[in-house]
Chain A
């Protein structure tokens, strides 16, 4: 026999009456913290402090290991040693694996064993560890749903709701799990919007780590610019796309003390999946870009796209190499940009372009997989809808930043 919804609730009421007793509730410190972190007046300043703390911790932790230790190891020991012992200096194999024989740092050499390894281990690994350590603590304490409540009003303006902040923050680590996390949103419209917006506008932890190295003074600006783009295009997508954006009731769980074992286990899982997904692509990326360079394809492509790159975005045509690499790994692409001679505004523009430009191949594959839930129609929505949004964003948001430079009189 099956019950109706009302009968079922009646039955539950009767059961609860017999088996549950509520004692007197004591208001405790935990509840006080729960209150002040979710009420707007105190919650918003606390949220800003938490996010700023996240930001500072990320920069400090990653900087400590990268600049203090790994850069020296790679530039002063690994690179000169490799340049010395790798056979066939001047040959194409040397070029692919070690790169430029005259380079004095691992950013510029651009070989598989120099730049790729340095980017992956020297810069991105500490960044990933720093990011996930902080994120896991936020996750396990139960802070994230409170953040979701606080930003609910703002996200409603673009047809999303507070819970969307969770995929947004996950995305700052890696876009791939963030795209998966969009499944917790209610409607197809919200899922599609969120997946596309975060794949386009949110740089991943690996890319952030490299940005701190390449444009240390401008990361904040780039982030604000991308976040502004997120909201502007979110607003537009919300108006253009059919579908509903219903209200939700969000469950806010009680605060919990993070358990060390759970934190370390999750951190290990995240780092392991980084190694599995990222390292092959970084290595492969360098090989492909070097081969394209050696065969003259990149030179040809650079000349072909010169009017667009120089004319519209105001960046040197050599950025075509990093843009190709960005399809495989964005961190690699940003690292590659640092080796091209250009002005600071041009460099910042290029970094923005790399961020906006096509999602990395792992994210792209995941977007298609999400589309597959909706059959052929779903796939074409994610593929063509996503591409349409992407092209519009690159031209408009990528072009606008040049306009900003022109207005500021620096380009």
Chain B
């Protein structure tokens, strides 16, 4: 098993990567800081699991080289759990990529990152409800301070592939 960290540009993938692996990749506050991928390892139930910090992308139809890299890594690692990192202030566009990845049949865990900034901006997301609708674990996180990272790690195991039709039904029901 591998863990892929994916999400839109500048949502904090590198920050979460550094938190998970104790590794050191450059994080900055602008989109496109990571243009190549970095591998690291984290302990998960007494096992060393490989974690890949994937460059940011908006969708699985790449628009630049960094996005091409992202899509290629996803396709090459079919046995992965994808931790989909979403900027809580820009939920919709993050969900777009998350849904695409779910449709591809990958087990997904969602990190609602920048939870603090969302609160500042008075954006309230019902994480529990989102979890029920999507059928995948959803964890609010603040990567720069480390809040929620432990819960995120503990819930990676729960991820399993979800049929998109079930999500559609969950919404209606």
State the CA gap A370–B66 with chains docked (Å).
12
Query: Is A20 a contact partner of B124 (Cβ separation < 8 A)?
Result: yes
Query: Is B171 a contact partner of A253 (Cβ separation < 8 A)?
Result: no
State the CA gap A266–B95 with chains docked (Å).
30
Residue of B nearest to A265 (CB): B24
Which bracket fits the contact residues of B? 35 or more
- Checking A8, A253, A266 against B99 with a beta-carbon cut-off of 8 angstroms, the contacting residue is A8
Whether B121 sits at the interface, judged by CB under 8 Å, is yes
Whether B164 sits at the interface, judged by CB under 8 Å, is yes
Query: Is A253 a contact partner of B30 (Cβ separation < 8 A)?
Result: yes
Query: Is B64 a contact partner of A11 (Cβ separation < 8 A)?
Result: no
Whether A16 touches B92, Cβ cut-off 8 Å, given contacts A139-B28, A140-B28, is yes
Residue of A nearest to B58 (CB): A251
- How far apart are B126's CB and chain A's nearest CB, in angstroms? 5
Query: Is B31 a contact partner of A1 (Cβ separation < 8 A)?
Result: no
Query: Is B32 a contact partner of A184 (Cβ separation < 8 A)?
Result: yes
Whether A15 touches B130, Cβ cut-off 8 Å, given contacts A3-B99, A166-B30, A183-B64, is yes
- Checking A12, A24, A141, A163 against B92 with a beta-carbon cut-off of 8 angstroms, the contacting residue is A12
Residue of B nearest to A8 (CB): B99
Whether A18 sits at the interface, judged by CB under 8 Å, is yes
A-B contact count (CB 8 A): 121
Residues of B within 8 A of A145 (CB): 30-31
- How far apart are A21's CB and chain B's nearest CB, in angstroms? 4
Residue of A nearest to B69 (CB): A183
Whether A259 sits at the interface, judged by CB under 8 Å, is yes
- Checking B26, B28, B65, B123 against A183 with a beta-carbon cut-off of 8 angstroms, the contacting residue is B65
Within 8 A of A (CB), among B1-59: 9-10, 24, 26-33, 35-36
Chain A positions within 8 Å of B, measured between CB atoms, are 1-3, 8-9, 11-16, 18-26, 136, 139-142, 144-145, 148, 163, 166, 180-181, 183-186, 191, 250-251, 253-254, 256, 259, 262, 265-266, 269, 373
Chain B positions within 8 Å of A, measured between CB atoms, are 9-10, 24, 26-33, 35-36, 63-66, 69, 89, 91-92, 95-96, 99-100, 103, 117, 121-127, 129-130, 133-134, 144, 163-165, 167-168, 171
Show 15 A/B contacts (Cβ-Cβ < 8 Å), sorted by A: A2-B103, A3-B164, A11-B171, A12-B99, A15-B134, A16-B92, A19-B125, A20-B126, A21-B126, A136-B28, A139-B33, A140-B28, A183-B65, A184-B65, A262-B27
